[in-house]
Amino acid sequence: MNTNQREHIALITGASQGIGLALARKFLSQSWQVVTLNRSDFPADDMLIQNALKNGRLRAYKVTDLADYGSLRRSLEEIKSKEQQIDILFNNAGGGLSELSYSKQGREKHYELLTVVPYIILMELKELLKNGRLKTVINTSSQVLRFTKEFTIENLEHPKTFRKMVGPYAASKLALSLWTQAVAPQLAKEGIKIRSVDPGLNNTLKKGKDSGMPAWFELLFKVLSSPPTHGADQLYEGALGNHRDKSGVFLLKGRVSELKFAEHAPRVLDRISDIYSREFLDGSVLHG
């Protein structure tokens, strides 16, 4: 395995398909090393991926369920024990669900997976980021956050209603971008930059699998969406493009965009930081 410290290393969550897979392929084609955290296996017929796995330029770690803290903890511990550095962390995992469901920790699953878990991954892998040269974090957000009409922590954790895409999914992506904004000054003291990026509309639909979208939107989506390589390009540019020196910003179509409900950002950060401390860190003592 080639672990030359002079080479750049990207860690991508949710890289076995869609945008994450396209992003992994993009970095591998540019001679980066890539580390991934996935629930499922890579496509067996993707020769670039399979060759990179064989020669060690791609190192894949498995997680049974990102929203299950026991499973997540084991996977992150394995990464920390085997990897020496990360230059860019892409918190990319997570899609839309078609109905209201809750994590093992008792919170709405979009919020757990799309808002809380990326913070846990960042905190757990922060030392590896500090060992890297680029020290950059990119959180995959979404322009659907603009559809959020009301915003409270309580409704994030236990929604009173459920609507596909524009309900808990949109609110959770907004919360992700809000804590990204709020945590930036704290991370800056450690030399780390963080941004949230909308990858645009990308056709990542899988045949036979519920998309988590309203039927009318799914039809429109199939017509208007781009291939996953477009989303990968947006995340890549968000990390290494014109805004690489900015921190805390939300990038929409390559431009810095204002966030709704920005006054809630500190409270969102406080809440997920508290969850991380009380449930993830303390839980490791209880279950370790």
Burial of residue 11 (CB within 10 Å: 0-12, 13-18, 19+) is buried
pLDDT digits (tens, 9 = 90+) for 43-52: 999 999 999 9
Segment 172-194 shows an average pLDDT of 98
Alpha helical stretches, state H, the chain: 18-29, 47-55, 69-82, 109-111, 117-124, 126-131, 153-157, 168-188, 215-224, 228-240, 265-275, 282-287
Where exactly are the structural domains of the chain?
Answer: 9-287
Model pLDDT, residue 221? 54
The percentage of the chain sitting over the pLDDT mark of 70, rounded to a whole number, equals 88
Give the predicted TM-score (pTM) of the model. Answer: 0.91
Q: Alpha-carbon distance 109 to 261, whole Å?
A: 21
Q: Which amino acid is at 162?
A: F
pLDDT digits (tens, 9 = 90+) for 125-150: 999 999 999 999 999 999 999 989 99
Model pLDDT, residue 91? 98
Model pLDDT, residue 1? 36
Looking at 32-36, 95-99, 158-162, 223-227, which range is the least confident one? 223-227
Check whether 284 has a pLDDT greater than 80.
Answer: no
Average pLDDT, the chain: 91
Model pLDDT, residue 257? 97
**Which residue has better confidence, 99 or 77?**
77
pLDDT digits (tens, 9 = 90+) for 55-73: 999 999 999 999 999 999 9
Residues 6+ apart with CB under 8 A from 136: 87, 88, 89, 129, 192, 193, 194, 195, 239, 244
pLDDT bucket at 115, cuts 50 / 70 / 90? very high
**Which residue has better confidence, 132 or 1?**
132
Model pLDDT, residue 40? 94
The percentage of the chain sitting over the pLDDT mark of 90, rounded to a whole number, equals 81
Check whether 273 has a pLDDT greater than 90.
Answer: yes
Could you tell me the CA-to-CA distances from 8 to 11, 21, 30, 232 in Å, in that order? 10, 18, 10, 17
| SS3 call for 207 | coil
Fold of 9-287: Rossmann fold (3.40.50)
User: Six-digit token pair at 40?
Assistant: 């499922």
Model pLDDT, residue 206? 54
**Which residue has better confidence, 272 or 227?**
272
